[in-house]
Amino acid sequence: MTEANQNTPPALSITPSRSGIERRYGDFPSFPAALDYAAQGESGFNIYSGRGTLLEALPYRKLRQQAHKTARRLLSAGLEPGDRVAIIAESDGDFARIFFGCQYAGLVPAPLPLPVAFGGKEGYIATLRGMITSADARAVVVPDVIGGWTADIIEGFSLVFGGSPAELMALEEKEIPLPQVTGDELSYLQFSSGSTRFPMGISVTQKAGMANAHAIAKYGLQVYPSDDPREDRCVSWLPLYHDMGLVGFFLTPMTCQLSVDLLPTREFARRPNVWLELIARNKGTMSYSPSFGYELCARRGAREDIDLSSWRVAGIGGDMIRPHIIHNFAEIFEKRNFDKRAFVASYGMAETTLAISFAPLNTGLRVDTIDLATMEREDFACPSHEGTESARDFVLCGLPLPHHQIEVRDSSGNALKEREVGTVFVSGPSLMSGYFNRPEETEAVLSPDGWLNTGDIGYMLDGQIVITGRAKDLIIINARNIWPQDLEWAAEHEISSLRSRDVAVFSVDSGKGEVVVALVQCRFTDDEPRRALKDELIALFRRMHGIDVDVVLVPPRSLPQTSSGKLTRARAKAMYLNNEFE
């Protein structure tokens, strides 16, 4: 053997899809107990670069060993069970080792966002520091990708540890016995995607997290049992600081012993098709995305000779589902053996750990076309007649998971009948215990009898929930209830030059009444096409919605997004009022 060959590291191999042990569906008292069981098999996490190169294969067996060592380092540093550890969440093995190290140590990890969707360093660090303060964190872990910002991030905090994963792993590891973690203890804090100036950490207990993972795996995704000749495998680019990425494609797969292929969130927008290539290469069966992820892939087209026939659960969540985007993706990738029946709509939020409902599998999207004008006047989702100008498609987001309930209520708290539009309330074993150290905010949304006011608006149809918008975004003009996402949808659907997340609609007080404003990202630089786009939008809003809208053209990529990639109207409105688009 030559010296060069002796120095060449062995080729990495992904963890197999089949774990080799009997499938269990999250029926454990805690996440540490779930990892103890998964470590008896062969499956695990596989970390990829944005180009699709395997960087690390991390079997659950090896992860358990490393998590134990990390737990002892954290406790040796002076942290005590119950302390919070803020982890800026890169999609890599270090995050897995530290997150599960916290679980074994009885610490409470708080995954925080990378600067993917923030306007700049200053705004990002201010948001991050707000989250660290809210969590009252005693340790902060900053990945190398933004390591140069560490001093600014941790300045002024009284911390036991503040530094990189490598610095954490270099700490002394004392022989400290690890605590017994019970179901009622906090597992982690989740900062919801809407958190901005005053972020609130959502407290998820071990018991609630396990209840949601069990329901998702067994009933929502219907993961194949170990004696089935078919085998499931997860592929994800979703951020691990967001509930859909953290719970859906990090924690839940581990609790039912599935292998997961993880791509870095921060590189997804540049190379979205690597996601599809990885599904094809590793025969992934389950993967989720908000609508815009499917739109990015469809825009790039089916360029690679890939086979997507293995993909049986193509989930959609994280924002309002845009049916036309989903249908376009299905048409383009049908030639790559994608089956549109794989689409699965679901509904949930961080306050319910993750999921609360799943549409039936193997049926594709079910759309309800309603008369928007009637809904605005009467709070009733009346089916639209053919040719109705104000028709709007809404997606049915499924039946409640077992042991969970959904009700649509009026302003007096009375349960509404089918197709009557109101506020969505949910209950079940997956609900948060509250907002961390925020009793008043918790009491405002979580009733003593265990019902959560989601703040979402919707209606029931055939036992399934249909989401139409957020209560706080409602615009009231001349006694009409107008939903900004309806205007956004109309613009993006009817005008070919616009894409999803190109339009933000809200109302402002002009001193003489409410004025509706639409901020529209415009890629034209010449005056004539800009003027034509503005006139077309004004005419469209008058024709389809019967209202006058002040259309303001703004530069591309200037509308703010949340950490999960959703448009944030509140921030867009604040920027508009501060004249930041002039």
What pLDDT, in 10s, does the model give residues 44-98? Answer: 999 999 999 999 999 999 999 999 999 999 999 999 999 999 999 999 999 999 9
Tokens 């999803």 — which residue? Answer: 500
Mean pLDDT of 401-416: 96
Give yes or no: residues 125 and 210 share one domain.
yes
Q: How confident is the model at residue 193 (pLDDT cuts 50, 70, 90)?
A: low
- Residue 194 in any domain: the answer is yes
Domain boundary among 424, 441, 472: 472
Euclidean distance between CA atoms 296 and 574, whole angstroms: 28
- pLDDT > 70: what percent of the chain? 94
What residues have CB less than 8 Å from 534, skipping those under 6 apart?
520, 551, 553
Residue in 323, 260, 322 with CA at minimum distance from that of residue 287: 260
Mean pLDDT of 360-375: 94
Q: Provide the domain limits for residue 395.
A: 357-472
C-alpha gyration radius of the chain: 24
Domain boundary among 225, 256, 287: 256
- Residue 4 in any domain: the answer is no
Instruction: Tell me the three state secondary structure of residue 561.
Output: strand
Domain boundary among 472, 497, 523: 472
Give yes or no: residues 525 and 454 share one domain.
no
Domain of 210: which CATH number?
3.40.50.12780
pLDDT digits (tens, 9 = 90+) for 204-237: 999 999 999 999 999 999 999 999 999 999 999 9
pLDDT digits (tens, 9 = 90+) for 534-545: 999 999 888 877
Give yes or no: residues 18 and 165 share one domain.
yes
Residue in 244, 195, 219, 49 with CA at minimum distance from that of residue 562: 195
Give yes or no: residues 162 and 97 share one domain.
yes
Euclidean distance between CA atoms 180 and 104, whole angstroms: 8
Euclidean distance between CA atoms 314 and 123, whole angstroms: 34
Long-range contacts of 328-333, Cβ-Cβ distance < 8 Å, separation of 24 or more: 328/295, 328/298, 329/294, 329/295, 329/297, 329/298, 332/298, 332/301, 332/302, 333/276, 333/297, 333/298, 333/302, 333/308
- Residue 324 in any domain: the answer is no
Token pair listed for 425:
């309330």
Give yes or no: residues 548 and 570 share one domain.
yes
pLDDT digits (tens, 9 = 90+) for 419-429: 999 999 999 99
Euclidean distance between CA atoms 81 and 84, whole angstroms: 9
Q: Which has the minimum average pLDDT: 284-288, 372-376, 431-435? A: 372-376
pLDDT of residue 7: 52
Mean pLDDT of 388-407: 92
Euclidean distance between CA atoms 295 and 297, whole angstroms: 5
Give yes or no: residues 54 and 109 share one domain.
yes
Give yes or no: residues 507 and 546 share one domain.
yes
Q: Is the pLDDT of residue 358 over 80?
A: yes
Please spell the DSSP secondary structure of 161-216, one letter per residue.
Answer: EEE-HHHHHTS-----PPPPPPTTSEEEEEE-TT--SS--EEEEEHHHHHHHHHHI
- Residue 2 in any domain: the answer is no
Tokens 């990639």 — which residue? Answer: 565
Mean pLDDT of 253-269: 95
Q: Is the pLDDT of residue 370 over 90?
A: yes
Mean pLDDT of 300-318: 90
**Number of separate helices (H) and strands (E) present in the chain:** 18, 27
Domain of 378: which CATH number?
2.30.38.10
Give yes or no: residues 448 and 478 share one domain.
no
- Residue 309 in any domain: the answer is no
Cβ atoms of 101 and 141 within 8 Å: the answer is no
Give yes or no: residues 489 and 458 share one domain.
no
Task: Give how far Cα 157 sits from Cα of 59, 86, 110, 140, Å.
Answer: 35, 12, 16, 10
Q: Is the pLDDT of residue 490 over 80?
A: yes
Give yes or no: residues 410 and 448 share one domain.
yes
Euclidean distance between CA atoms 377 and 480, whole angstroms: 5
pLDDT of residue 561: 78
Residue 385: its H or E element: none
Q: Is the pLDDT of residue 501 over 90?
A: no
Give yes or no: residues 554 and 467 share one domain.
no
Q: Is the pLDDT of residue 149 over 70?
A: yes
Q: How confident is the model at residue 475 (pLDDT cuts 50, 70, 90)?
A: confident
Mean pLDDT of 112-132: 81
- Residue 316 in any domain: the answer is no
pLDDT of residue 1: 41
| DSSP H stretches of helix in 270-387 | 273-282, 291-300, 323-333, 372-378
Q: Is the pLDDT of residue 171 over 60?
A: yes
Number of folded domains in the chain? 3
Q: Is the pLDDT of residue 2 over 50?
A: no
Mean pLDDT of 503-515: 78
Q: How confident is the model at residue 336 (pLDDT cuts 50, 70, 90)?
A: very high
Q: Which has the minimum average pLDDT: 137-141, 348-352, 463-467, 540-544? A: 540-544
Average pLDDT of the chain is 91
pLDDT of residue 198: 67
Give yes or no: residues 410 and 478 share one domain.
no
pLDDT of residue 131: 94
- Residue 100 in any domain: the answer is yes
- Residue 495 in any domain: the answer is yes
Domain of 515: which CATH number?
3.30.300.30
pLDDT of residue 8: 47
